[in-house]
Structures are given as structure tokens and as C-alpha cells.
Amino acid sequence: MSEQQQNWSRKSLDELVEYYIDHIHPKFLADSTHIDQPYPTAKWLREHGYSGIRYTLREHHDRTFTEFIHEDVGDEILQTENRGSAVETTQPRFDIEHEPTEAAVDAYFTRREDRELLAKSTLASRRSRFRTWIETYRHNHGTDALLEHADDTDKKATERHRSREVLDDIADNLGSDQSRLNFVADVRPVYSWLTDEGYLVFNPLDGVESEYGWERPDADNQSLQATDVQQLLAAAETPAETLLVTALPGWGLRPSEVAQLHVSQFALDGDDPHIAFEERKNGPGTVAIHYGVNTVSDRIDQLADANDWQGYLFPSPTDSRTHVHSDTITNRFKRLAERAEVSVDGRVATPRTARRFWYTTYSSAMVDIRAEMDDIADEQGAQSGTVVWEQYLSEADRRRRRRQAMATKLAESFEKQR
């Protein structure tokens, strides 16, 4: 398909990022007449048949092309070894003066790059934002020895204060609360990994958003309620529709992930049913199935009777060798919501409001867990519930408690759907 034939409006934001990295950016790099520009201008996009991406970003994703480049694609993708040829983007070291910190941060990004644990666009964005974090930290405090400042719990209060000073400066230079939240979402996982691997004793960015008045756009904050999920399940007339409701609010999947679900991804036996993903944007490689094992089995049984079934749980009606488009999942969910008379803020429910339900439920479950940890801390004389959670429970124990808490919360909506 040529650039001029691209159906831009049908592409999700993730698909636009992928298309830009795989097609537009290499072609722009090869254009030696724009060697001083880091990314395409509106004129260049128009001349090369890509003008549709700017319109789609503005009308369907509420962002400018410049915001798309810096916040979604990531500044790191703009750094190349040379211009004038389509080259691979480089992933330079962070120029951290404190060598142990440099080695530890390098290990985080190298591992994710080598094992392909993150989408390329996510990895590039995270590198760029963490570089900004390091540079600002060094400018403010005269050092970038992150490991030295978080190697003892006695330093926790001081280092949390240092980190908030850094975040204050960075936040002042970002144009929206959404941008600030996205920045923290990219920096904190690096700290979390460093903590989990034993480089740090604590994560100074834990719970940082609660100390600021940042808010996401209203559209992102709207969520289905438990009664909405019950209405959707009651209105579902086929195994496919029941699976649709289970996968979106019950598993927290994106429409594109639901569209591509394949029988080979599911592990349904044992005490840990889950879905495995080779690559998942901003998320774990596996997703726990708290509810829906029988729903998946029913859908597989229904499809297995077809001689030409290729294993996709939502096969394309026109080509059995592949799956439906993500827009098809969105449209099917909205039609089901209309039939179930489920609306959010006066408008028909969407997959985004369903995914938000999962996050809201998870947050509520974590509040319950923190309260339980605080009770344990009081009984045992520990410093806080956070200390109990991070230092006295194994990862297996933490995971088990998260699963139990989520199962309890989801039971209010899905009841006996397991």
C-alpha cells in the first residue's frame, strides 16, 4: 500500500508510532536536503504523501505532530549516527559521572533491548526521559550518584526530597498534566527495576503523583462501573461477546490486543491462568486471568469446529488466516454497550472506559493491600506498611496477594464468570 493509500484514521496511536518509526523516519533520514532538522516538517510530510498523519493525530488523538514526536515516538529516535542514509537509531550511554549508577542504568536498558521486553517506541521514550531526569538531577544537586543516595533507608526522606525538587523543575517545563504523568510513568520503572535488582534499597518515586494535583483529561478518567459490567455481561448473546466483555474490563487489554488474541497465548490450567504476550506496550509480558477461564474455553470450543480455524479468538470474517482489526473490536463493544444501554458521562461506553475500569479496580485492590500491610507493620513494630511490602515479602508473596485482592474486587462485577 502506498503512502497516499494509507487509511490513517483507522490506525491506532500505537500503529501510527510503529508506522512512523518503520517507514516515515527512515525515509526522512535518507533525505539529505533536510539534514539540519530532527523530524519532518508539515511541508515535507505533504510533499511525500504523509500529510494524513498530522490530520489524524489532531482529529482522532488530540495531539500535534510535534507532541507525537516528543511524547509518543520519543526523542531518542531522533538521535542517529549520521544523516543522509536510512540508519539504525543509536542507543548511547547516559554519560553518568558516577560509574556504578551508569553501569546499573545501562544494564536496565540493555536487558530490555536485548530481550525485546518493550516496544521500540516505548524504549526510546523511556531512554529520552530518563536522560532528562539524570541531567536535571545532576544540575540541581551537583551529582548523579543515584545509587549512593538510595542505598540506606536512613537516606529515604532526604532522597525523596531531592527527587521531588528534580521533578518540580522538569514538570515546570512540560506543557500539560498528561505530559507530567507520562514522564513519571517512564522514569519510575527504571527506579523500580534498580530496587528489585538490589541496586537501591527504596524507590524515591513511589506514590509521587499523589503529592501533585495533576489530572488526566476527563475522557481518560471516565470508567465503567461494576453495574455497567454486569449489564454488558447480561446483554452478551454469544461466546464472542462474553469474551469481549471479559477481555476489555476484566483483563484490561487494549482493542488491538483483543483483536490479535490467539489460542497459543493462553495458559488455562493450574493455579496461575494467564495470557502471554511477546511484546506489550507499557505493560508486563503476561496478564493474569482472574476471571474468564471458562469463557475462553467456550470460545475455543465454538471455533474449533471450523475446518479452517487458525487459532485466532476473533478471526477475520473475510480471511480465516488472520484476525479482525482493532477498530472492529471497538465497534463491536460499542454496539454491545448500546444494546445494554451502558453509557459513561452521557456517551456510549468504549473500550477505553472498559480498560480504565480494570485500572480503577486494581488501584482499589492495592489500597486494600496497603491497609493490610499497615496493620502488619503496627503489630510487628515495622517502620511502615511499605517497608513490610517491599522488604519482608517475596515477589511470589506479593504477586499472590495482588491476585487475591484483584479476584475479590472483580467478583463484584463478574461474579461466577471464572
Specify the CATH number for the domain of residue 305: 1.10.443.10
Does a structural domain hold residue 85? no
- Of 204, 232, 257, the last residue of a domain is 204
Q: Any residues with CB less than 8 A from the CB of 359 and at least 6 apart, and which?
A: 223, 252
Average pLDDT over residues 116-138: 79
- Looking at residue 415, the DSSP 8-state letter turns out to be T
234 and 197 share a domain? no
pLDDT, residue 91, reads 44
- Of 78, 107, 123, the last residue of a domain is 78
64 and 198 share a domain? no
pLDDT, residue 206, reads 85
* Number of domains comprising the chain: 3
pLDDT, residue 26, reads 77
Does a structural domain hold residue 112? yes
Q: How far, CA to CA in Å, does 208 sit from each of 172, 181, 218?
A: 16, 10, 21
3-state secondary structure of 274: strand
User: What is the rounded CA–CA span in Å between residue 180 and residue 184?
Assistant: 6
200 and 255 share a domain? no
114 and 24 share a domain? no
Residue from 415, 416, 283, 307 nearest 359 by CA: 283
Domain that holds residue 236: 219-418
371 and 264 share a domain? yes
User: What is the rounded CA–CA span in Å between residue 261 and residue 9?
Assistant: 23
CA angle 155, 369, 206 (to 5 degrees): 30
Does a structural domain hold residue 128? yes
Query: Does residue 209 surpass a pLDDT of 80?
Result: no
If one compares 212 and 154, the residue with the highest pLDDT of the two is: 154
For helices 99-114 and 120-141, angle between their N-to-C axes, nearest 10 degrees: 170
Residue from 95, 75, 79 nearest 87 by CA: 79
Does a structural domain hold residue 88? no
281 and 405 share a domain? yes
Long-range pairs of 136-139 with CB within 8 A, sequence gap ≥ 24: 136/166, 136/169, 136/170, 137/162, 137/163, 137/166, 138/97
pLDDT tens-digit series, residues 337-346: 999 999 887 8
User: What is the rounded CA–CA span in Å between residue 103 and residue 248?
Assistant: 39
* CB-count burial class (<10 Å; 0-12, 13-18, 19+) for 219: middle
Does a structural domain hold residue 209? no
Average pLDDT over residues 185-194: 89
pLDDT tens-digit series, residues 356-371: 898 888 878 887 887 7
Residue 250 carries which side chain, given as an amino acid letter? G
User: What is the rounded CA–CA span in Å between residue 131 and residue 118?
Assistant: 18
Does a structural domain hold residue 248? yes
Helix intervals (H) in 272-418 = 293-304, 326-340, 351-380, 385-387, 395-414
74 and 112 share a domain? no
Cβ contact 326:255 at 8 Å: yes
If one compares 365 and 143, the residue with the highest pLDDT of the two is: 143
356 and 400 share a domain? yes
Query: Does residue 114 surpass a pLDDT of 70?
Result: yes
Lowest mean pLDDT among 112-116, 210-214, 218-222: 218-222
If one compares 361 and 279, the residue with the highest pLDDT of the two is: 361
Q: What pTM value is reported for the model?
A: 0.50
pLDDT tens-digit series, residues 23-63: 888 788 777 676 667 788 888 888 888 888 888 887 777 77
Query: Does residue 226 surpass a pLDDT of 50?
Result: yes
- Looking at residue 323, the DSSP 8-state letter turns out to be B
Average pLDDT over residues 395-413: 82
Query: Does residue 418 surpass a pLDDT of 50?
Result: no
223 and 283 share a domain? yes
CB atoms within 10 A of CB 235: 17
In the numeric block, which cell numbers belong to residue 336?
454491545
Does a structural domain hold residue 352? yes
Cβ contact 90:80 at 8 Å: yes
pLDDT band at residue 399, thresholds of 50, 70 and 90? confident
20 and 72 share a domain? yes
55 and 173 share a domain? no
Query: Does residue 240 surpass a pLDDT of 90?
Result: yes
Cβ contact 326:12 at 8 Å: yes
Residue listed under C-alpha cell 513494630: 381
316 and 346 share a domain? yes
Does a structural domain hold residue 321? yes
Residue from 266, 277, 253 nearest 330 by CA: 253
pLDDT, residue 52, reads 86
Q: Give exposure, 126-151, as e/b (b: 16+ Cβ within 10 Å).
A: bbbbbbbbbbbbbeeeeebbbbebbb
Mean pLDDT estimate for the chain: 81
pLDDT, residue 133, reads 93
pLDDT, residue 89, reads 41
